[in-house]
Amino acid sequence: MKYVVLIYGNPESRRAWEGMSDEQRAAGLAYYQQLNDDLDASGERIVSERLAFPELTKRVSVSDGAPMTTDGPFAEAKEFLAGFYLLDCESFERAVEIAGRVPEASFGVVEVRPVMGLHGPEL
Amino acid sequence: MSEDLLRSLAPQVLTALVRRYGDFDACEDAVQEALLAAAQQWPADGVPDHPKGWLITTASRRRIEQWRSETARQRREETVALAEPPDPEPVAAVDDTLTLLLLCCHPSLTRPSQVALTLRAVGGLTTAEIARAFLVPEATIGQRISRAKQKLRGTRFALPEAERPERLAAVLQVLYLIFTEGHTASSGGALNRVELTSEAIRLVRQLRAELPDDGEVTGLLALMLLTEARRPARVDASGALVPLASQDRSLWNASLIAEGVSLITGALSTAPVGPYQLQAAIAAVHDEAATAEETDWAEILTLYDLLRVVAPGPMVTLNRVVAFAQVHGPSAGLAELAGTASDPALAASHRVDAVRAHLLELSGDGAGARGAYLAAARRTLSLPEQAYLQSRAARLGPG
């Protein structure tokens, strides 16, 4: 069963990151590396990525068949997607347990959602 | 042809190797390499006269090569092993498939690991094929298999007789899980995918050849055949799910039904009853009805009443409600459904909403049915099912 863990940033988490020393940041990244290694060893990590800060966002809209883009910053956004994990694990409980290891969970901005599949049961 | 041959020989070759060298982990790798070599060479050079002997010899050589590259300290032992020519056609052990299945479904492994290891070691599938079948990256399955094999290191190959019934139950669950996993409604992109339903049926057939008198093994095979028989009618031309009641029964596979019915009839009259036999019997009642209206719902309700005693569970409870409503009418069914609401396993299930919607529709409450279909559609994790539930809601009125 696949689950996606969505990691949001907010002004509080961003301030925390910006206030860190290089050593603290390195420790934070090492923590993530360990998490990834553990999930690779258990075969549960399909993919995970960190996303650039929202200033580099381009919003796309199509009008008359032509795509238009609007550049950030989107200062009005209090929360922004900062990264994600795509997991393949046994249960929702297990996915939640993994999400609990994501440091951002201490800011209360980590979500887990099941992925919709093609499994069609007998009706 | 040679692919089927390879896969059916895989468990025999692996057990032969494990009996000779002892270490499951390294032997399994060697057999995979031998299977790959055969898949490359046989189409060009022709299938050898003794395919099994060829595979055992090739795998043995690989195993020895691995050994040689491991440490220099072992060089002496390996010379001995090399000097000993592998038997071209060793005495076939009758229970190869069973022995391997029991090992791959070892209780120390998680269910996904049991599934992956079973498909590779017993099914003879490659890691890439398993990964495609489950729509996950090859590395995910590769890690899962190598971790599972590490965990099994040191596990005895032969199983104490006392543990066998419990362990066999786990094997049947894993095989049924492989079957249901393959029961998807996907259409595009299926070309490169191994059919997990066919794979599960093949493995249960192999298992049954070794345990012909086990009623549950036969029951599981019958259940799979009777379910697989309806596959051509389960999805329409646009890929949408077709419920059992609306399926074009002329598309059902008559020979699979005949085989399934004959198997389950035989098992029920000779073996102690069990959950797979009861589910197969229910499937047989559906499959034997020429039209949905002719379905013997009283018989199905009786079977669900038995199943509720033998193997209670949320899906049994819910399916029994559906049968109950068919026998006693939708209002009685809704009252019965209300009685299941206390089951915590059902409280969060979209299936309860789907059944409620169906019963409300039958009882003439269109607005109530529409709301329940939409509630079910929001909570399902299956795309085809969501499309189906939304279409049912749409038929009952505008949003």
Cβ-based neighbours of A116, under 8 Å, separated by 6 or more = B380, B381, B382, B383, B386
| Assigned token pair, A92 | 């929702």
Do B70 and B110 fall into the same domain? Answer: no
Distance between CA B128 and CA A47 in Å, rounded?
17
**Cβ neighbours of B386 in A, within 8 Å:** 116
Alpha-carbon distances, residue B283 vs B57, B72, B79, B204, B220 (angstroms): 45, 59, 57, 18, 11
Q: B140 vs A115: CB contact, 8 Å cut-off?
A: no
Higher pLDDT, A72 or B21: B21
**Cβ neighbours of A45 in B, within 8 Å:** 140
Helix (H) or strand (E) holding A56: none
- Is the confidence at residue B186, as pLDDT, over 60? no
- CB atoms under 10 Å from CB of B332, counted, come to 14
Q: A88 vs B112: CB contact, 8 Å cut-off?
A: yes
Q: A121 vs B111: CB contact, 8 Å cut-off?
A: no
Do B76 and B101 fall into the same domain? Answer: no
Q: Which of A92, A117, A17 is nearest to B387 (CA)?
A: A117
Q: B112 vs A121: CB contact, 8 Å cut-off?
A: no
Query: Which residues of chain B have a Cβ shorter than 8 Å from any chain A Cβ?
Result: 110-113, 134, 136-137, 139-144, 147, 180-181, 183-186, 227, 230, 234-235, 241-244, 380-386, 388
Domain count, chain B: 3
Of residues A90, A114, A123, nearest to B243 (C-beta): A123
CA dihedral for A119, B232, B114, B279, sign (positive or negative): positive
Q: Which of B234, B235, B236 is nearest to B287 (CA)?
A: B234
Burial of B41 (0-12, 13-18, 19+ CB in 10 A): middle
B227 to chain A: closest CA residue: A122
Confidence of residue A72 (pLDDT cuts 50, 70, 90): low
Q: How far is A24 from chain B (nearest CA, A)?
A: 31
Confidence of residue A89 (pLDDT cuts 50, 70, 90): confident
CA dihedral for B288, B290, B291, B296, sign (positive or negative): negative
Does residue B299 lie in a domain region? no
Do B106 and B174 fall into the same domain? Answer: yes
Does residue B382 lie in a domain region? yes
- CB atoms under 10 Å from CB of B333, counted, come to 24
Q: Give the β-pairing of A45-50 and A2-9.
A: unpaired
The per-residue pLDDT of chain B, averaged, comes to 87
Helix (H) or strand (E) holding A70: strand A66-71
**Cβ neighbours of B112 in A, within 8 Å:** 43, 88, 90
Does residue B360 lie in a domain region? yes
In the listed set B29, B51, B83, which residue is the last one of a domain according to the structure?
B83
pTM for this predicted structure: 0.83
Do B27 and B79 fall into the same domain? Answer: yes
B385 to chain A: closest CA residue: A120
Higher pLDDT, B388 or B82: B388
pLDDT at res. B323: 96
pLDDT tens for each residue of B34-84: 999 999 999 999 999 999 999 999 999 999 888 877 765 555 555 555 545
Does residue B314 lie in a domain region? no
Q: Give the β-pairing of A80-88 and A45-50.
A: antiparallel
Which whole number is the average pLDDT over B375-390?
89
Of residues A43, A117, A121, nearest to B140 (C-beta): A43
Instruction: Name the DSSP class of B162.
Output: G
Distance between CA B347 and CA B206 in Å, rounded?
39
Does residue B253 lie in a domain region? no
Of residues B137, B142, B382, nearest to A119 (C-beta): B382
pLDDT tens for each residue of B112-134: 889 999 999 999 898 988 888 88
Distance between CA B13 and CA B122 in Å, rounded?
10
Distance between CA A72 and CA A55 in Å, rounded?
5
Which whole number is the average pLDDT over A89-117?
90
Do B48 and B113 fall into the same domain? Answer: no
Neighbouring C-alpha atoms within 13 Å toward the C-beta of B97: 20
User: In chain B, pLDDT over 90 holds for what percent of residues?
Assistant: 56
Confidence of residue B91 (pLDDT cuts 50, 70, 90): very low
Do B328 and B389 fall into the same domain? Answer: yes
CB-CB contact of A88 with B136 (8 Å): yes
Which whole number is the average pLDDT over B362-387?
92
Do B22 and B71 fall into the same domain? Answer: yes
Distance between CA B207 and CA B224 in Å, rounded?
14
A117 to chain B: closest CA residue: B382
Do B176 and B116 fall into the same domain? Answer: yes
Torsion (CA) B171, B174, B175, B179 in degrees, nearest 10: 170
CB-CB contact of A54 with A77 (8 Å): yes
The per-residue pLDDT of chain A, averaged, comes to 86
- Residue type present at position B352: V
Does residue B191 lie in a domain region? no
Do B79 and B107 fall into the same domain? Answer: no
Of residues B110, B244, B383, nearest to A118 (C-beta): B383
| Range(s) of the domain holding residue B353 | 320-399
Higher pLDDT, A15 or B34: B34
Distance between CA A21 and CA B322 in Å, rounded?
63
What is the residue whose two structure tokens read 């050079």? B45
Do B177 and B143 fall into the same domain? Answer: yes
In the listed set B26, B53, B83, which residue is the last one of a domain according to the structure?
B83
- Is the confidence at residue B296, as pLDDT, over 90? yes
Q: B382 vs A122: CB contact, 8 Å cut-off?
A: no
pLDDT at res. B89: 46
Do B325 and B384 fall into the same domain? Answer: yes
Does residue B21 lie in a domain region? yes
- Is the confidence at residue B281, as pLDDT, over 90? yes
DSSP class per residue in B188-256 = TT-TTS--HHHHHHHHHHHHHHH-TT-HHHHHHHHHHHHHHTTHHHHB-TTS-B--GGGS-GGGS-HHH
pLDDT tens for each residue of B299-308: 999 999 999 9
- Residue type present at position B142: G
Distance between CA B271 and CA A27 in Å, rounded?
62
Q: How far is B140 from chain A (nearest CA, A)?
A: 5
Does residue B15 lie in a domain region? yes
pLDDT at res. B192: 47
pLDDT at res. B74: 58
Do B75 and B112 fall into the same domain? Answer: no
Q: B185 vs A120: CB contact, 8 Å cut-off?
A: yes
